[in-house]
Amino acid sequence: MKIAINTGGGDAPGLNAVIRAATKAALNRGWEVLGLRNGYASLYTDKPATRLTPDSVRGITMQGGTILGAANRGNPFEFPVLQADGSYTYEDRSDVVVSKLAELGVEAVVAIGGDGSMHLAHRLSEKGLKIVGVPKTIDNDLVGCDTTLGFDTACTIATEAIDRITTTAESHQRAMIVEVMGRYAGWIALHAGLASSADVILIPEIPFTLESVFKKLEQLKKQGKEHAVIVVAEGAQLKEGGHFIKGKQVGQAELLGGAAAFLEKEIMSQTGQETRSVILGHQQRGGRPSTYDRLISLRFGAEAIRAIEEGDFNKLVVMKENQLRRIPIADVAGKFKTVPTDSDTIMTARDLGICLGD
Amino acid sequence: MKIAINTGGGDAPGLNAVIRAATKAALNRGWEVLGLRNGYASLYTDKPATRLTPDSVRGITMQGGTILGAANRGNPFEFPVLQADGSYTYEDRSDVVVSKLAELGVEAVVAIGGDGSMHLAHRLSEKGLKIVGVPKTIDNDLVGCDTTLGFDTACTIATEAIDRITTTAESHQRAMIVEVMGRYAGWIALHAGLASSADVILIPEIPFTLESVFKKLEQLKKQGKEHAVIVVAEGAQLKEGGHFIKGKQVGQAELLGGAAAFLEKEIMSQTGQETRSVILGHQQRGGRPSTYDRLISLRFGAEAIRAIEEGDFNKLVVMKENQLRRIPIADVAGKFKTVPTDSDTIMTARDLGICLGD
Amino acid sequence: MKIAINTGGGDAPGLNAVIRAATKAALNRGWEVLGLRNGYASLYTDKPATRLTPDSVRGITMQGGTILGAANRGNPFEFPVLQADGSYTYEDRSDVVVSKLAELGVEAVVAIGGDGSMHLAHRLSEKGLKIVGVPKTIDNDLVGCDTTLGFDTACTIATEAIDRITTTAESHQRAMIVEVMGRYAGWIALHAGLASSADVILIPEIPFTLESVFKKLEQLKKQGKEHAVIVVAEGAQLKEGGHFIKGKQVGQAELLGGAAAFLEKEIMSQTGQETRSVILGHQQRGGRPSTYDRLISLRFGAEAIRAIEEGDFNKLVVMKENQLRRIPIADVAGKFKTVPTDSDTIMTARDLGICLGD
Amino acid sequence: MKIAINTGGGDAPGLNAVIRAATKAALNRGWEVLGLRNGYASLYTDKPATRLTPDSVRGITMQGGTILGAANRGNPFEFPVLQADGSYTYEDRSDVVVSKLAELGVEAVVAIGGDGSMHLAHRLSEKGLKIVGVPKTIDNDLVGCDTTLGFDTACTIATEAIDRITTTAESHQRAMIVEVMGRYAGWIALHAGLASSADVILIPEIPFTLESVFKKLEQLKKQGKEHAVIVVAEGAQLKEGGHFIKGKQVGQAELLGGAAAFLEKEIMSQTGQETRSVILGHQQRGGRPSTYDRLISLRFGAEAIRAIEEGDFNKLVVMKENQLRRIPIADVAGKFKTVPTDSDTIMTARDLGICLGD
C-alpha cells in the first residue's frame, strides 16, 4: 500500500501530530508514505512528493504548523496561473492531481484540512480519489463532532492572554476588550471568556446591543468594580447592524479595526470609561499544541490509517460523544456548527451573571 | 433556599472554579450560600461555616487548591479524637453533621470531592442529607463519565515535564524515566506519554515485563536512537510481581522509591544504559487549572445548582459522551474506571510503535 | 515610623512584589504602612489610605497589576476637575498631598512608578516630601540602570507570541509582522526578536528603509526560505519619514494601525508576499511576573525600606552593573536609555544575519 | 578559518542557542564550522565531526539539549576503555584530540560546558589547542560572573513548580518540601524560593538546624497559617551533620532520598504536621530555554567568534556587571561562586521574614 498525506487550509496546532501518527501507523503496517509539499501544488511540479520516514516525523508532535507546508492558493479546481500582464487566470487541474497520484502509485490520501479542504476532498473523491479526511479548525465550527484539533490550544492561548489583560483592567480601572477568532461561531470567545472570568462575552450567535453592554458596565460600577473585561468574537453581530467580518460590518459602512475597535470607540465616547482593546489574531493559530490537541491529533492520524486499511473511504475521522467516529465527508461540507444558545455552557454564563449582549 | 458547599479529598485544579460557579449561580437565584471550612470539621466547632458572597469568590476560577480548605482527616463517620496518650480513637459524628446543617438552615449540600468524599456523601444522604456531588479526581478513574476535573491539568503538567526531560535524554543518550500519578488507572501516563512522544508507557492495566522494556531499548539503539523516555504510572504492575503502590510492590518486599526507582536500577544494572528518573508527585495536583478544567468546573458548579433547584438530589454531575449528565451517587461508589486495553488510544500507542510493556 | 506606598503609571508585572516586600520589610521593623488607593487621589477623599498588613500582601508576589490601584489621572500638580459643562480645569493639589500625608503621620513615601511618576516624586520631594522611588517600566528605557521591573516579563510574553506566530509563517510561507511595545526604545523588540530568531528587527534607534526589508525577504527566498518573521517596535522610525507613534508617523499623515499595518501594506503591495500582522499591545503589560521580575521587585521593595531606614531620601533604587544601587531621582528625570547601536547585542543580531533595517 | 564546536557536561537550556550563534557568526565571516558529536569522543572514530551549516542550526535557539550531543564519559585525559572482563581501564587520549583537530584543519575550538569541561579546556590549551570557552551551569556557581546560561530557566521551572505545590499546601494545611538542584551553592533555592514566596529556604551556604525550621512552622501556626512551603537545595547542610550530597549526608550514615526525605520524616515525626515532598530533579535542566537564557546564549556564542577573530584565546566568555567580558580560563577552574550570606538578596529574604535555617 502507498498513501499520500496532504495538509491544507489555515494553520492549526496539531497538524504535525496527525502527520506523525498517520506516517508511523502506515510504516508499521509496511506501507509507503508520501507527503505532498504545500498542498496539491507539488503534483504539478517535477518534485511531486517527499517520502516520509520515521526520521521525517521524529519530534514533531509538539511542533506547531505543518512540516509539509500548506498551500496559500491550493484549489486544484481553480488553480491560479499568473499571466504576462500580472493578472491570474484559473485552470481546473483536478485531473492532474488524480492522474499524478495514480502515476505515483498512491492508493489513498489522508487529507488534513479545514472546511475548504474537506470540500475539495469531496470533489476529488467524486473523481475517484480514495480519501480519508481529518478535519481541523481552531474555530470548532465543524458539524457532526464534539471538538476539532487546534480548538483547545486556541482557547488556552486566548485564556492566558485574557488573564494577563485582566490584571491591568483591574489595577487601572479600565474596560479591556479582547477580540478573539470566530467569524461565524463563538466557541473560542465563549470558552475562553468563561475560563478567564470575563464580564461580557459577545458571540455571533447572540446579536448584541451596545445598551446591554453599557448597562453591565454601569451595574459593575454599582458593585464597586470600576473595571470590566469584554471578550468579543471577530464575527460578533450587532443586533441592529450585522456581523463584523474582516474589519467590516456586513451591510454597513466599513468599520476599520473590526469589532474590538468599534466597541472601544463606542464605550469611550458614550460612557467615558477608559477603554483599551487587543486583537489576538494569529497568536491563536500557531505554536505548540496543547496536550489535549496533541492527543486527539495522534488518535485522528492513527484512525485515518485504520480507515484506509479497512477500505472505509470518503470519510472524516471525528470525535463525537467522546468517541472516535467516521462520518461521510458529504455530511459536513458547507455547514457550520454554531454555539447552541440553549446549551448548558450558555446557561452557565448566565448563571455567573455574564452579559451576553442580549 | 440556603445551601452549603464542601470540598474534600486530595487537591485537584478546578475546585475553586466549581465553588465560584455554584456560589454565583445560587446567589443569582436569591439563595444563601455557606462554605464549610476544611470539610465537615467546621461543623463540630463554634464557627461552623462562612457565608460566601460575590467578593469571596472573585478571581478564584484560575486559582489552584480550594478556598474552603480540605480536611486531612475528614470522615465524620470515623472522626479521629486525640487521646491523652497521643493515640486516636474514632467517633461517629455523622449525626452532628446532619443536625448542625439542619440547625443552620442548610437545605442542600454541594459536595465536591473524590471517591472517598462521594462515598461519604452517599452515606450522609442515607441519613437524610440532600446532596448533589461534583466528583473530582486528577486520576480520571471515575466510572460513568468521560473525564473528571483536574485530569486535563495533570496531563498538561506531566506532558510539559516530560517534554523538558526528553531533550536531556536525547542530548545525553540516556534512558529517562518519569513516574506520574495513577495508582489503579494509567490515564495520566497514557495521555501524557502519548502527547510527549514517549518510547515506553507502563500502566497498571497492562502488566509489564522488564524484558519487553529492554527489548525496546535494544530496538531503539538499532535505529540509531541512543536514548529513551519511559513514562510509568505509580501503580504500574510487574507481570510477575504485582502493583507498585506507595513505593511498595504489593505481595513483595518493599521497593523504596517505587516504580521509577525500580526501573532505574534494573535498566542500569541489566543493560548498562545511563538512566535517570524523576517522580512528578504533587506537581500534578496543584496550581492553575487548564482552560479545559476551568470550563468544565464552572459548568459542573452551575449544573449542581440547577439540580438542587429541580430537587434532583443524591446525584453526581458528570460529563458523559460530551454532555453534562446527572447519575446516582450510588452508581459510582467503590468502582474504578481503568483504561480499556482495546481502546483506540491504546491502539494508537501501538500504531506509533510505543512499548506498553507486554 | 509610618510610611506610605504609592503606585503610579502604566501597568508592569512586579508592582505587587515591590508592595509586598516593602510592606513586610517595614512591618518587620515595627513600622506602620499605608497604601494609597489609585495613586495620590485617595488623599483628596475621606478615605485617604488603607493600612497594609501581612494579610493584605499575602500571595501577591505572583499577581500582575497593583493591589493599590493606579491613577488614570494622577498628577497632583495638574489635577483634573470636572466642570458643569463636561470639560476639565486643572488644579495644583500638590500641597494637599504633602499636608494630608503629614496629617496622617506619614514620614516617608515609597513611590513605585514610571518616568512620569518619578518626575512627580521629584517635584513633591522639592516640597519637602521624603521619597524613595522604585522605577518600573516594561520598556527598559530608564537611564542609570541595567534593567527595570516588568521588562523581563514583557520580553518573555513577546517571545512566546513570536514563537507561536513563527510556526504559521513557516508552514504557510508568509511574512508575519509582530508589533511590540517601545515608543522611544527598541529593547523589547531587540531582545524578543533575537530570542525568537526573527529575520528582521526594526527599532527606533536604527531608522529603517523599506528597501532593506525587501532585500532581506529576497535573500531569504534565494536561500529557500519562503517565510519571514519581522519584529517591529511601535516607535520604529522610517529613515525618510519619522517615528511611528500611537498609530501615527510624526511629521506625516496619520498611519492608521501604526508600524505593523504600514509594513503589512507595503510588503503585500510591493513584493506580493502573503503578509499578516499582529499587535501584541497590552498583553505585554499584565499578568504574572516572570521569576526574574518577581525577584528584582522583591529586592527593590526591601531596599527601599533600607534606604528609608538610613534616611537616604530622594533616591531611586535601581539595578546597575548587576548590583542594587541608589541614584538621585533628579538624575533620571526626562531622560531615556535607548539601545546603543554599537552594543554587543546589536553586533550579535548582525552576526546572526538579522536585518536591522539599515 | 576553520573552527570546531564542542558541548560537554550536564544539560543546560541554552546550549543550542550558543551553537547557533557561534555557527552563524562564523559562517557569516566565511569560516568553516565543525561540530564534534558527543564531545571529543567523535575524534577517536572514523566520523570525527559534522559540518555545521545554516540548515543544521535553523530553529534550534528555542530547543533544549544540544544538537551535538554531550559525552557521558568525555574526559580525553582519562578515556574509559572497556576490557574483556567488563571492567574499564583509562587511557590518556588528549594527544589524539589535539592531533586529530590539527589534521582536520581546525584552528580554534569553541568549548561549551561546565566546570569539568572548562578544566579540560584548560588542560587542552596547555597542549597547544586554541580554545574559547562558554561556561554553562544551571547552578550559577561559576566564579567571575553574574549569571550563567541555564540558570534563569532552572529558576523559572522551579518557581512554577513551587507555585503549583503552594496551592495544595494551603488548601490542605500541609508542609510541602521542594528539593531543587544546587550541590554546593544555593542560587536556585534562594531565587526560586523568594520568587514563589516560600516560608523556609535552606541553602548549603547557611547550615540549618531542625529547631529553626520547627520554630518557623510554630510561628506560622500562631499567625493562623496552617501550611508551609520549604525550599531546600539538594546540598543543604545540617549544622550538626554536614552536607546532603547525592542522597547522602557527608560524614553521616546514608540518608536515602536526600535532603527532602530527611526533612519530611523529621517534620512529620517531631511536629505531627502533615508533610509531603517533591524532588524536581532533571526537570530543571532540560527543555526550552527562557527568553533571558536564549538571549545571553546567543550573545555568548557570537562573542566567542569575536574572541577567535581577535586571537584572544584561552578565555571564557562571561557576563560580569551586566557586560560581556572575557576572563582567563585558568581563573575559574575548581572554584565555586556560592551565595554571599550578606548579599542584599539574603537580606531581602530576612526582611520578608523567611526562615533561612539559622
Q: Does residue A345 belong to the interface with chain B, where contact is any CB pair within 8 Å?
A: yes
**Quick check: D230 and D263 in contact, CB under 8 A?**
yes
Output the pLDDT for position A57. Answer: 97
Is the pLDDT reported for residue B108 higher than 60? Answer: yes
Average pLDDT over residues C124-130: 95
Candidates A109, A152, A143, A112; CA nearest to A295 is A152
**C-beta neighbour count of D90 within 10 angstroms:** 12
Residues B7 and B42 in one domain: yes
Residue D207 carries which DSSP code?
Answer: -
Write out the binding residues of D: 10, 73-74, 114-117, 137-139, 174, 181-183, 234, 276, 282-285
Compute the distance between CA of residue C333 and CA of residue C312 in angstroms, rounded to an integer: 18
In angstroms, the Cα distances linking B326 to A6, B21, B128, B133, C77 are 42, 17, 19, 9, 62
Asked whether residue B325 is assigned to any structural domain, the reply reads yes
Q: Which residue of B has its CA nearest to D11?
A: B168
Do the domain assignments include residue C337? no
Q: Are C100 and C48 in contact (CB under 8 A)?
A: yes
A-contacting residues in B 134-153 (Cβ below 8 Å): 146-147, 152
pLDDT of residue D252: 45
Residue D72: the pLDDT is: 64
| Interface residue C15 vs chain A (CB under 8 A) | yes
SS3 category, D327: strand
pLDDT in tens, B142-185: 888 899 999 999 999 999 999 999 999 999 999 999 999 998 99
Give per-residue pLDDT as tens, A328-346: 998 887 788 999 999 999 9
Strand ordering across the sheet containing A237-238: A237-238, A242-245, A248-249
Question: Which of A171, A291, A293, A322 to mutate to test binding with chain B, by most B CBs within 10 Å of its CB?
Answer: A291
Q: What's the gap in Å between the CA of D316 and the closest CA on chain B?
A: 23
Instruction: Indicate whether B182 belongs to any domain.
Output: yes
- Per residue in D44-68, pLDDT (tens digit) is 888 879 999 999 999 999 999 999 9
Contacts of D165 in chain B (CB under 8 A): 282-283, 286-287
| Cross-strand bridge partners of residue A175 | A228, A275
Does the annotation list C51 as a binding residue?
A: no
Q: What is the least distance, in Å, from the CA of C38 to any CA of chain A? A: 8
List D208's β-bridge partners, or say none: D238
Q: Is C352 on the interface with D (CB under 8 A)?
A: yes
**Cβ separation B282–D165 shorter than 8 A:** yes
Same domain, A23 and A133: yes
Task: Report how far residue D6's alpha carbon sits from residue D134's, in angstroms, rounded to the nearest whole number.
Answer: 10
Q: Check D164 against B67: CB less than 8 A apart.
A: no
Residue A250 reports pLDDT greater than 60? no
B134 and B23 assigned to the same domain? yes
Q: Does A165 contact chain C (CB < 8 Å)?
A: yes
ipTM at complex level? 0.94
Between strands D2-7 and D108-113, the pairing is parallel
Asked if A66's CB is within 8 angstroms of C163's CB, the reply is: no
> What is the end-to-end Cα distance of chain A in Å, rounded?
55
- Dump pLDDT digits (tens) for A152-173: 999 999 999 999 999 999 999 9
Q: Give the pLDDT of residue D242.
A: 66
Minimal Cβ distance to A21: which of B159, B322, B348: B348
Q: Is D255 on the interface with B (CB under 8 A)?
A: no
Nearest by CB to B167, from D65, D161, D164: name it: D65
What was the pLDDT predicted at C243? 65
Q: For the domain that residue A53 is a member of, what is the CATH number? A: 3.40.50.450
Is the CB of C164 less than 8 angstroms away from the CB of A279? no
| C321 close contact with D: CB closer than 8 A | yes
B10-23 pLDDT, tens digit each: 899 999 999 999 99
Mutate to test the interface with B, among A188, A297, A352 (most CBs of B within 10 A): A352
B133's grid cell: 456531588
Q: Chain C interface, mutation test: which of A5, A11, A136, most C Cβ atoms within 10 Å?
A: A11
* pLDDT at residue A252, as a whole number: 46
The SS3 assignment for D217 reads helix
Q: Would residue D356 count as lying in a domain?
A: no
Please say if the pLDDT value at position A133 is more than 50.
Answer: yes
How far does the CA of residue A300 sit from the closest CA of chain B (Å)? 9
- The answer to whether position B266 is within a domain reads yes
A99 and A212 share one domain: no
Closest residue to A167, CB basis, from C65, C257, C281 = C65
Using alpha carbons, list the distances in angstroms from residue C332 to B94, C212, D312: 67, 35, 37
- Same domain for C142 and C165, yes or no, is no
C194, C242: one domain = yes
Structural domain count, chain C:
2
* A285 marked among binding-site residues: yes
Domain extent at residue A138: 2-149+289-331
In-domain check, residue A267: yes
Instruction: Identify the closest residue of chain D to B177 by CA–CA distance.
Output: D282
Cβ of D163 under 8 Å from any chain B Cβ?
Answer: yes
Q: CB of B278 within 8 A of CB of B177?
A: yes
Question: What is the predicted pLDDT for the residue at B203?
Answer: 97
Q: Is C183 annotated as a binding residue?
A: yes
Q: Same structural domain for residues D57 and D84? A: yes
How high is the pLDDT of residue A41? 83
Please give the Cα distance from C351 to D22 (Å, whole number).
9
C238-292 tens-digit pLDDT: 887 666 755 555 544 344 458 998 999 999 999 999 999 999 999 999 999 999 9
Which among C28, C192, C194 has CB closest to D353?
A: C28
Annotated binding site of D for substrate: 137-139, 174, 181-183, 234, 276, 282-285
Q: How confident is the model at residue A213 (pLDDT cuts 50, 70, 90)?
A: very high
**How large is the average pLDDT for residues B294-320?**
97
Nearest-CA distance B167 → chain A (Å) = 10
A177 sits in the region (left: phi over 0; alpha: psi -120 to 50; else beta) called beta
Same domain, A25 and A52: yes
Which of C255, C286, C317 is the last residue before a domain boundary? C286
Of D11, D139, D141, D152, which one is the catalytic site residue?
D139
- By CA distance, what is B10's nearest residue in D? D172
Contact across the interface for C171 and A69, Cβ inside 8 Å: yes
C-alpha cell at B94: 455523622
Residue A196 in domain: yes
Q: Look at residue D330 in the predicted model and tell me its pLDDT.
A: 86
- How far apart, in whole angstroms, are the C-alpha atoms of residue A346 and residue A144? 20
Distance between CA C296 and CA D344 in Å, rounded?
11
Q: Find out whether B175 and B169 touch, Cβ atoms under 8 Å.
A: yes
CA A262: distance to chain centroid? 24
Q: Do both D192 and D303 map to the same domain?
A: no
pLDDT of res. D254: 43
Return the SS3 of A299. helix
User: What residues contact D102, with CB distance under 8 A and at least 6 apart?
Assistant: none
Q: Are residues C345 and D295, on separate chains, in Cβ contact within 8 Å?
A: yes
| A106, A238: one domain | no
Q: Do A64 and C167 touch (CB under 8 A)?
A: yes
Would you call D159 an interface residue with chain C, using a CB distance cutoff of 8 Å? Answer: yes
Contacts of C253 (CB under 8 A, 6+ apart): none
Asked, for residue C269, whether it belongs to a domain, the answer is: yes
Query: What is the pLDDT, as a whole number, of residue A242?
Result: 66
Could you give the CA distance from residue C264 to residue C178 in angstroms, rounded to a whole number?
10
User: With 70 as the cut, is the pLDDT of residue B248 above it?
Assistant: no
Mutate to test the interface with B, among D61, D172, D288 (most CBs of B within 10 A): D172
pLDDT in tens, A4-60: 999 998 899 999 999 999 999 999 999 999 999 999 888 988 888 999 999 999 999
Shared-domain flag, residues B297 and B171: no
Cβ-based contacts of A28 with chain B (< 8 Å): 351-353
CATH at C229: 3.40.50.460
Do C22 and C54 reside in the same domain of the chain?
yes
